[in-house]
Amino acid sequence: MQSLEIKDLHISIGDKPIVNGLSLTVNRGEVHAIMGPNGTGKSTLAKAIAGHPDYTITSGDVLVDGASILEMEPDERARAGVFLAFQYPSEIPGVSIANFIRAALQSRLPEGEELEATKYYKNLYAKMDALKIDRKFTSRSVNEGFSGGEKKRCEILQMAMLEPTYAIMDETDSGLDIDAMKVVAEGVNALRGPKLGILLITHYQRLLDYIVPDYVHVMWDGRIVKSGDKSLALELEAKGYDWVKKELAAV
Amino acid sequence: MNPLSDNDTTIADEAAANPVAGIDQEVGNFQYDVKYDFDAGSGLSEDTVNFISQVKKEPEWIREFRLKALKVFESKPLPTHWATKDLENIDFNKIRYYLSQGQRSKRSWDDVPDDIKKTFERLGIPEQERKFLAGVEAQFDSEAAYSNIKEAVSKQGVIFMSSTEALMEHPEIFRKWFGKVIPTGDNKFSALNSAVFSGGSFIYIPPGVKVSHPLQAYFRINAENFGQFERTLIIADEGAEVTYMEGCTAPKFSTATLHSAVVELVAMKGAKIQYITVQNWSANVFNLVTKRGLAHEDATIKWIDCNIGSRLTMKYPGVVLKGERARGEVLSIALANDGQHQDTGAKMIHAANNTTSNIIAKSISVGQGRSTYRGLVHIPKHLKGCKSNTECDALLINTNSRTDTYPAITVKGDRNSIQHEASVSKISEDMIFYMQQRGLSEAEAMSLAVNGFVNDLVREFPMEYSVELKRLIDLEMEGSVG
């Protein structure tokens, strides 16, 4: 069972239910896109899976390769292979990207084992070259004073270094111009492969021109109301979300 | 004043059963039973002062100096009109003012009594000495148990010994500067120190001598209900340079311990003194220290001051910029964990033209911890070409933390340049979540955020000390989470 399984998930913020019975299975090697209008619970889903303390899972389950992660702390979920590329990544003043990623990798080693510095930098520079990121980048403090594009590239670099098995990408295209979006999409495409399952969350179809998904799901009012292949995204683009709304009303 | 001999109760065990709430400071939290040959008993009176002076076989002028200081101490009220009322919890009658096994320090670790030697070995002092120090003094309660300086350094004429010994062996230099930078009556605690001082370092660097490796002193409190009152005097003669580092620890006791030092620095024309403190006192220590330097023409005095631990620290290192183009700097980091209060800051007294001062203070408050910054920059009207920069940054780790800033900048003239910046930031839940999402535990995330906050200051520290500081921050954060 090499998959991220979301089973009939209900999520609340405080007393307010946001996600109302969402089920979805992302196998390794697949790219799924969740599309939907603002306020439908897409980002809530992403943060709740990662274990953000503000979101309460009231029922349902999330399984990573068959094991539930709901009792785990956010860091344990991360080490179990779940990566969240943030829509608004936090700034960490005074901590360089290189040191941050190093600490993240160190946290995955058993107690008493030290990450080997030379190997680490070799690996880091190789990944940066592959993602066409300037080497000076990693001495800057994490996200501090970054442009939208730089923040997203920083997320992709972390993803490349931490090698998760499941990546949830929350509005990775938001705030990016078309050139920046192409660069980020190239990065994600480079990481695609049989060992990684990707859940792309997006409001717009345009990202899916560059990262072509295997499956597209439409989210509405806290649940998935329609699923299909990449053509669904184009249909949605052409007809707008009102089309889904009307269809739902007809049922 | 009977020499006490029954100090065999295992206070460390009691302390373990009664840990002071707050912080994890396991590094220094151990105690060995030590028999003290000289004990002034509890409480403070003229008899106490006479006892100390007598066992040290001091000259009469010092005894008189002490007795006069005692009167000043008794006449001054606690400064609770501006400082915390917690000072009232110090019971001066319960404190033991002098405890030692003898007044002469040893030049070789082999000669240091076993029970004291194992304390310093456990703290890693002899090892550090071999690795990177030009000289070491190790004080155990009231007196230095060990002091030594590398031969190459002493051949240059450098004097480094405990001040107990220096006032006997080098009275001509000692007396000239002793009590001149910080007069007895400067404050209640400088008066207390002047009455009962013991130990501390005395350093003299001859003209033009640049000591390439640091000299280090380590101050260890071992006994319960004890007061440590070291007195340090450093004189760098014309064009001389020296770096001095001090470290401090004490075991965790359930009763209050008092540390009240006086440190005076004198930098003659063109001299440079760098004074580095990394204190890691346990959470029962009242740490009330007066530190000031006098910088002559073209001289530089730099205080690097890291205050981690203690119940209450009040410390405002200062520089009197007496000669033209003198430069004074204070770089400080204070970490106040639950139940702790770090009341720290800096004083810069500009007393000549074209003098420069720079203060960078960073404080971190965790849980119920409280940080206060008090600064004083004084530039009188007749001066010109003076520059002063103050930056205070506070980091709050949860909503209960408290931080106060009291910068007092008096600039009378208009021919000087002043800058002042202050910031308060918080480690947000989102920042911690972001780091946890990358695999760091909550404590690791906190540590990394705090280390990031102090990072630009720590870069100014010598390597060995920045590593030590990082380790201490990690330990503190581990204790503060969950």
pLDDT at A69 over 60: yes
A168-227 residues touching B, CB cutoff 8 A: none
Residue B469 in 3-state DSSP?
Answer: helix
Record: contact A83-B425, CB cut-off 8 A: no
* Average pLDDT value over all residues in chain A: 93
- Shortest CB distance from B441 goes to which of A75, A95, A162? A75
Record: contact A104-B434, CB cut-off 8 A: no
- The pLDDT, as a whole number, for residue B401 is 67
- Shortest CB distance from A107 goes to which of B439, B455, B456? B439
Residue A169 in 3-state DSSP?
Answer: strand
* Mean pLDDT score, B309-315: 93
- Shortest CB distance from B439 goes to which of A53, A79, A86? A79
Chain A CB within 8 Å of residue B423 CB: no
Residue found by looking up tokens 């202050």 in the block: B422
How many other CB atoms sit within 10 Å of the CB of residue A173?
Answer: 24
Choosing among B423, B430, B431, B435, which should be mutated to test the A contact, i.e. which has the most A CBs within 10 A?
Answer: B435
**What span, in angstroms and rounded, lies between the C-alpha atoms of B264 and B287?**
17
B363 has which bridge partners? B334, B394
Chain B CB within 8 Å of residue A108 CB: yes
pLDDT in tens, A7-35: 999 999 999 999 999 999 999 999 999 99
Per-residue confidence band for B27, with pLDDT thresholds at 50, 70 and 90: low
pLDDT in tens, B259-269: 999 999 999 99
Residue B66 in 3-state DSSP?
Answer: helix
Chain B CB within 8 Å of residue A110 CB: no
User: Amino acid identity, residue A48?
Assistant: A
Per-residue confidence band for B10, with pLDDT thresholds at 50, 70 and 90: very low
In this predicted structure, which of A5-14, B193-202, B375-384, B400-409 has the lowest mean pLDDT? Answer: B400-409
Record: contact B436-A73, CB cut-off 8 A: yes
Record: contact B452-A141, CB cut-off 8 A: yes
Q: Tell me how far apart the terminal alpha carbons of chain A are, to the nearest angstrom.
A: 34
Per-residue confidence band for B190, with pLDDT thresholds at 50, 70 and 90: very high
Chain B CB within 8 Å of residue A79 CB: yes
Chain A CB within 8 Å of residue B186 CB: no
Of B32, B48, B79, residue with least CA distance to B197: B48
A–B: how many Cβ contacts below 8 A?
A: 84
Choosing among A86, A88, A96, A107, which should be mutated to test the B contact, i.e. which has the most B CBs within 10 A?
Answer: A107
pLDDT at B9 over 70: no
In this predicted structure, which of B58-72, B81-95, B152-166, B449-463 has the lowest mean pLDDT? Answer: B449-463
* Mean pLDDT score, B315-344: 95
pLDDT in tens, B227-237: 999 999 999 99
By the 10 Å C-beta count (0-12 exposed, 13-18 middle, 19+ buried), A120 is classed as: middle
Chain A CB within 8 Å of residue B434 CB: yes
Note whether A188 and A207 are within 8 A (CB): no
pLDDT at B479 over 90: no
pLDDT in tens, B68-102: 999 999 999 999 999 999 999 999 999 999 988 77
- The pLDDT, as a whole number, for residue A11 is 97
- Shortest CB distance from A104 goes to which of B431, B439, B449? B439
- The pLDDT, as a whole number, for residue A17 is 95
- Shortest CB distance from A107 goes to which of B441, B453, B456? B441
Chain B CB within 8 Å of residue A89 CB: yes
The chain B residue lying nearest A96, using CA atoms, is: B452
ipTM computed for the complex: 0.96
Residue B363 in 3-state DSSP?
Answer: strand
Q: Which residues of A touch B449 (CB under 8 A)?
A: 92, 95
In this predicted structure, which of A1-15, B167-181, B465-479 has the lowest mean pLDDT? Answer: B465-479
pLDDT in tens, A139-168: 999 999 999 889 999 999 999 999 999 999
Chain A CB within 8 Å of residue B18 CB: no
Given the DSSP bridges, would you call strands A197-202 and B370-379 parallel, antiparallel or unpaired?
Answer: unpaired
Record: contact A75-B439, CB cut-off 8 A: yes
- Shortest CB distance from B439 goes to which of A78, A91, A93? A78
Per-residue confidence band for A70, with pLDDT thresholds at 50, 70 and 90: very high
Record: contact B448-A104, CB cut-off 8 A: no
Chain A CB within 8 Å of residue B482 CB: no
Q: Which residues of A touch B394 (CB under 8 A)?
A: none
Note whether A93 and A144 are within 8 A (CB): yes
Chain A CB within 8 Å of residue B459 CB: no
Record: contact A94-B439, CB cut-off 8 A: no
* Mean pLDDT score, A172-179: 85
Record: contact A79-B435, CB cut-off 8 A: no
Query: Shortest Cα distance from A84 to chain B (angstroms)?
Result: 7
B390 has which bridge partners? B359, B420
pLDDT at B14 over 50: no
Residue found by looking up tokens 């992302």 in the block: A26
Query: Shortest Cα distance from B177 to chain A (angstroms)?
Result: 42
pLDDT at B15 over 70: no
- Shortest CB distance from A108 goes to which of B431, B439, B445? B439
Buried b (16+ CB within 10 A) or exposed e, A90-117: bbbbbbbbbbbbbbbbbbeeeeeeeeee
- Shortest CB distance from A94 goes to which of B439, B440, B456? B456
* Mean pLDDT score, B367-385: 91
Q: Which residues of A touch B438 (CB under 8 A)?
A: 75, 78, 100-101, 103-104, 107, 158, 162
Query: Shortest Cα distance from A104 to chain B (angstroms)?
Result: 5
Record: contact A90-B451, CB cut-off 8 A: no
Note whether B287 and B312 are within 8 A (CB): yes
CATH of domain A3-92+148-250: 3.40.50.300
DSSP H/E element including A189: helix A178-191
In this predicted structure, which of A135-139, A243-247, B329-333 has the lowest mean pLDDT? Answer: A243-247
Chain B CB within 8 Å of residue A95 CB: yes
Percent of chain B with pLDDT over 70: 90
- The pLDDT, as a whole number, for residue B13 is 31
pLDDT at B66 over 50: yes
In this predicted structure, which of A74-78, A140-144, B94-98, B458-462 has the lowest mean pLDDT? Answer: B458-462
Of B326 and B103, the structure prediction assigns the larger pLDDT to B326
